[in-house]
Amino acid sequence: MFHIILFFFFGAICMAGAINLLVQSHPINSALSLITVMAALAGEYLLLGAEFVAAVQVIVYAGAVMVLFVITIMLLNAGKEEHTKGSRVAILIGVPGVLIAAVLVTWTLVSRGQTGSVAIGALPGSPQEIARLLFHEFLLPFEVTSVLILIAIMGAVVLASRPEAIAHHPAKADQPDSAPSKRKDAPQLVASGVGSGKER
């Protein structure tokens, strides 16, 4: 009985957070509801016995990736969304369509699904066994993902750096003043209306 109560408790928090993400107009509220969804999902993973995955979900997803999102929202001073014509059309057609698809999938799964049952904490997801799998059978994907992360780091550093920093590269030393003059009207990111002020 505890299993069902806990499942519905965490499941309700997940769905409330997901719907709140859709409904809120300010991105910071959407980010905070996504964080609660991830924390509740960590609870669901614990119910399934995947304790290491739950810990990694909290550390990596809720504790690092979402911090990046929140920092970006704070840095770019994202305000409330405006509703354009395209978004009204999307809401009018998209919401009923996707809801019908969701109801269809749910009904199929619940009535015709041939999946079994699982007890609380059924899977022995201890770190030792996961490490054994990760470094024996899944060693190649593990190494490939490390190269992927390296590429992502390099890409992010290049994309987010200021254009003057790249324009001062020795290969482009013959045009030192074209880049700054194009950028003189682009507002400095930090000084442009920082804080949560005017859109409140």
Partner 1 sequence: MDTIPVSYYLVLSGLLFTCGVLGFLIKRNIITIFMSIELMLNGVNLAFVAFAAQWHSLSGQIFVFFVMVVAAAEATVGLAIIIAVYRTRQTLNVDQVNLLKL
Partner 2 sequence: MSITTFVIISLIKSIAVIFVLLTAVAYSVWLERKVSAHIQNRWGPTRVGPFGLLQPLADGVKFIFKEDLTQPHVYKPLYIAAPMIAMVFAITSISVIPFGNYVDFGPWGTYLQITDLNIGLLVVLGITSMGVYGVALAGWASNNKYSLLGGLRASAQMISYEVSLGLSLVGVLIIAGSLSLRDIVDAQRHLHWNILFQPVAFFIYLISAYAETNRTPFDLPEAESELVAGYHTEYSAMKFAMFFMAEYANMVTVACLATLLFFGGWLGPVFGPPILQAILPVIWFCLKVFFFMFLYVWVRWTLPRFRYDQLMAFGWKFLLPLAIANIVVTALIVAWRA
Q: Residue 28: which of 72, 60, 63, 65 has the closest Cα?
A: 72
Phi-psi region of 119 (alpha: psi -120 to 50; beta: other; left: phi over 0): beta
DSSP structural state of residue 171: G
User: Which range binds partner 1 by CB under 8 A, 153-161, 164-172, 173-181?
Assistant: 153-161
User: Which range binds partner 2 by CB under 8 A, 4-12, 16-24, 53-61, 174-182?
Assistant: 53-61
179 touching partner 1, by CB under 8 A: no
75 touching partner 2, by CB under 8 A: yes
Q: Which of 35, 40, 41, 47 binds partner 2 (CB under 8 A)?
A: 35
Tell me how many residues contact partner 2 (CB under 8 A).
27
64 touching partner 1, by CB under 8 A: yes
Structure tokens at 37: 């969804």
d(CA 118, CA 121): 8
- Up-side HSE of residue 124: CA atoms within 13 Å toward CB? 3
Structure tokens at 171: 């290969």
Q: Which of 14, 41, 47, 62 binds partner 2 (CB under 8 A)?
A: 62
| Residue 131 contact, options partner 2, partner 1, none, Cβ 5-8 Å cut-off depending on partner type | none
Residues with Cβ < 8 Å from 125, sequence gap 6 or more?
49, 50, 51, 52, 53
84 touching partner 1, by CB under 8 A: yes
Residues with Cβ < 8 Å from 54, sequence gap 6 or more?
42, 43, 45, 46
123 touching partner 2, by CB under 8 A: no
| Least distance (Å) between residue 166 CB and partner 2 | 19
Which spans of this chain sit near partner 2 (rule: CB under 8 A)? 28, 35, 51-52, 55-56, 58-59, 62-64, 67-68, 70-71, 74-75, 126-128, 190-191, 194-197, 200
